[in-house]
Amino acid sequence: MSGLDGMETCRRLKAEEITRHIPVIMMTEFSYDKEAVVEAGADDSISKPPDFTELAFRLKSIGRIRYLTDELEKAGAE
């Protein structure tokens, strides 16, 4: 990744207006401190190799949170 690790990539995505609302699940074989992952802006994390059933549930959950957040923002704008 052009010399960037996942943590820095996440920080940069979350720092930009256009990409900050994109949900990020960090997947790594390294044991990052969970607090550091959250501070970088990640919405969730999972270890490699992933349990694909667990990953699917996490993706579904983050998608639902995003949908509900969008609905709340729309309701507040009315």
What CATH number is associated with residue 22? 3.40.50.2300
pLDDT tens digits for the chain (78 residues)? 567 888 899 999 999 999 998 999 988 776 667 788 888 999 988 888 889 999 999 999 999 998 999 899 899 876
CA distance 41 to 43: 6
pLDDT computed for residue 31 by the predictor: 64
Is position 42 within any domain? Answer: yes
Where do we find the tokens 């996490």? Answer: 58
CA distance 41 to 15: 9
Nearest Cα residue to 41 out of 60, 19, 64: 19
In terms of residue numbers, what domain contains 59? 6-77
Is position 26 within any domain? Answer: yes
pLDDT computed for residue 30 by the predictor: 67
pTM, 2 dp: 0.74
